[in-house]
């Protein structure tokens, strides 16, 4: 598969980025010194591991604080003040700074033992060290290839609106299996509760299932964190994304193609090209906040609208959503018909439930009996897709999560 070598080269980052990152790290460390705080800023994430993809990455920085400090998030905010940081709420608040590159600056405790971590982010520097120690020559390219494949098939990211493979899990899988192709081949033998234990922390599967936190091993895969054996690094992975990865891996192995590394740019033009008839594209504006939280709200609002339309009687042939990770969101729906019938039938009570029958008859004028059960025929007031989309968007379960901007139909 010579095309894989070509893709690997295309994914390799411009290493001049490293100098920009190092310069910014130095400027943060100068601010730390000015504030007379016992802490140090270091590079983290894929940049520190040299596994980042060209033009497709954020820079993770960790500010490691002496454990004597209490509210390290607030303290970090004061240190970063001159850089106009944006506060992001999470299990521990962190900050974003946008310059030439997008930086995520995370406060962590400067600890020597992962068992002393107070937050999952405290272990992140240990993950970087573990990868740099265990990564063999050429495997950084294999990691980038795997990340790109996972992004294209939409299984990359541990966020709750994705429930896929985190970058840390991808790192572990490549170090464990050796290469992208071997990972795909081995995945064909995966069954739910597959266990990956690179450091052999446990004797066997039974030992793993007995000792690990039960709430964290409900998913299809258990990747024992090489740094902290009680943690399942793949706890976010859903059964849906587990199966999707296996299926796409099977497809690729059967018929390898560069298309598995080309991310589809979803927009109005591409949707109109793909769906020729009865297409509705809804433009929305996402609310600000932590990416994981915002993404989760977008997904919930989408599911709410889709389910409400189905309840009303619309036959949805295809639907989906896309987000540019900022504010612009698209939902799309492809319908069989664009208008509901003028009337619909409502189920009523069985005839032997006399009190309920009387109540039902009072509520609905036009009733009839079928197989010893009462029914009513009522007028449908809102019949078109447009009318119902606007009505659904006014409901609390929708409008609290996202704002409808406009609806366009292509018939």
Residue 172 belongs to a domain with what CATH number? 1.10.1410.30
pLDDT at 201 over 90: yes
- Residue 214's pLDDT is what? 84
- pLDDT interval class at 65 (50, 70, 90): very high
The proportion of the chain whose per-residue pLDDT surpasses 90, expressed as a percent, equals 84
Instruction: Record the tokens describing residue 245, joined without a space.
Output: 């990865």
For the chain, the average pLDDT equals 94
143 vs 411: CA distance, rounded Å: 43
pLDDT by residue (tens digit) across 131-148?
999 999 999 999 999 999
| 117 within domain boundaries | no
pLDDT at 69 over 90: yes
333 and 360 both lie in a single domain: no
- pLDDT interval class at 58 (50, 70, 90): confident
257 and 156 both lie in a single domain: yes
CA angle 227, 228, 231 (to 5 degrees): 125
243 vs 20: CA distance, rounded Å: 40
Among 227, 261, 295, residue at a domain's last position: 261
pLDDT at 78 over 80: yes
174 and 275 both lie in a single domain: no
- Residue 291's pLDDT is what? 83
In angstroms, the Cα distances linking 61 to 18, 50, 394 are 12, 14, 41
23 and 89 both lie in a single domain: yes
- pLDDT interval class at 213 (50, 70, 90): confident
> Residues with Cβ < 8 Å from 54, sequence gap 6 or more?
10, 11, 12, 13, 14
179 and 275 both lie in a single domain: no
- Residue 264's pLDDT is what? 86
pLDDT by residue (tens digit) across 219-266?
999 999 999 999 999 999 999 999 999 999 999 999 999 999 998 889
280 and 387 both lie in a single domain: yes
Mean pLDDT for 311-318 is 95
Instruction: Record the tokens describing residue 5, joined without a space.
Output: 């070598």
46 and 159 both lie in a single domain: no
Range of the domain at 58: 14-112
- pLDDT interval class at 339 (50, 70, 90): very high
Mean pLDDT for 381-399 is 95
- Residue 90's pLDDT is what? 80
pLDDT by residue (tens digit) across 340-361?
999 999 999 999 998 999 999 9
Mean pLDDT for 74-98 is 92
Count CB neighbours of 43 within 10 A. Answer: 19
- Residue 348's pLDDT is what? 93
């Amino acid at each position: 598969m010579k095309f894989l070598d070509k893709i690997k080269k295309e994914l390799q980052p411009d290493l001049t980025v490293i100098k920009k990152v190092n310069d910014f790290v130095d400027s943060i460390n100068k601010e730390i010194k000015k504030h007379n705080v016992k802490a140090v800023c270091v590079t983290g994430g894929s940049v520190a591991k040299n596994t980042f993809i060209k033009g497709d990455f954020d820079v993770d920085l960790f500010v490691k604080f002496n454990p004597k400090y209490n509210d390290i998030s607030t303290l970090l905010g004061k240190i970063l003040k001159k850089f106009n940081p944006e506060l992001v709420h999470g299990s521990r608040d962190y900050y974003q700074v946008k310059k030439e590159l997008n930086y995520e600056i995370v406060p962590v405790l400067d600890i020597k033992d992962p068992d002393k971590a107070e937050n999952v982010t405290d272990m992140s520097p240990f993950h970087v060290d573990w990868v740099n120690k265990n990564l063999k020559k050429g495997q950084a390219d294999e990691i980038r290839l795997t990340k790109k494949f996972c992004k294209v098939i939409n299984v990359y990211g541990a966020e709750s609106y994705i429930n896929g493979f985190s970058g840390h899990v991808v790192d572990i899988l490549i170090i464990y299996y050796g290469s992208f192709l071997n990972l795909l081949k081995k995945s064909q033998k995966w069954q739910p509760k597959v266990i990956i234990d690179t450091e052999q922390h446990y004797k066997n599967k039974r030992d793993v299932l007995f000792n690990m936190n039960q709430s964290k091993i409900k998913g299809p895969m258990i990747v024992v964190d090489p740094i902290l054996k009680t943690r399942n690094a793949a706890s976010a992975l859903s059964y849906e994304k587990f199966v999707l990865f296996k299926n796409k891996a099977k497809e690729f192995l059967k018929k390898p193609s560069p298309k598995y590394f080309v991310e589809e740019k979803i927009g109005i033009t591409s949707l109109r090209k793909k769906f020729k008839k009865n297409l509705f594209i809804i433009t929305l504006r996402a609310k600000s906040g932590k990416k994981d939280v915002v993404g989760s709200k977008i997904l919930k609002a989408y599911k709410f609208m889709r389910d409400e339309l189905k309840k009303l009687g619309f036959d949805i042939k295809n639907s989906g959503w896309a987000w540019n990770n900022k504010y612009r969101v698209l939902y799309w729906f492809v319908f069989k018909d664009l208008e509901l019938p003028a009337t619909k039938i409502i189920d009523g009570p069985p005839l032997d439930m006399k009190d309920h029958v009387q109540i039902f008859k009072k509520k609905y004028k036009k009733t009839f009996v079928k197989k010893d059960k009462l029914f009513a025929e009522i007028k449908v007031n809102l019949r078109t897709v447009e009318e119902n989309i606007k009505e659904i968007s006014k409901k609390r379960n929708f409008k609290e999560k996202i704002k409808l901007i406009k609806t366009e139909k292509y018939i």
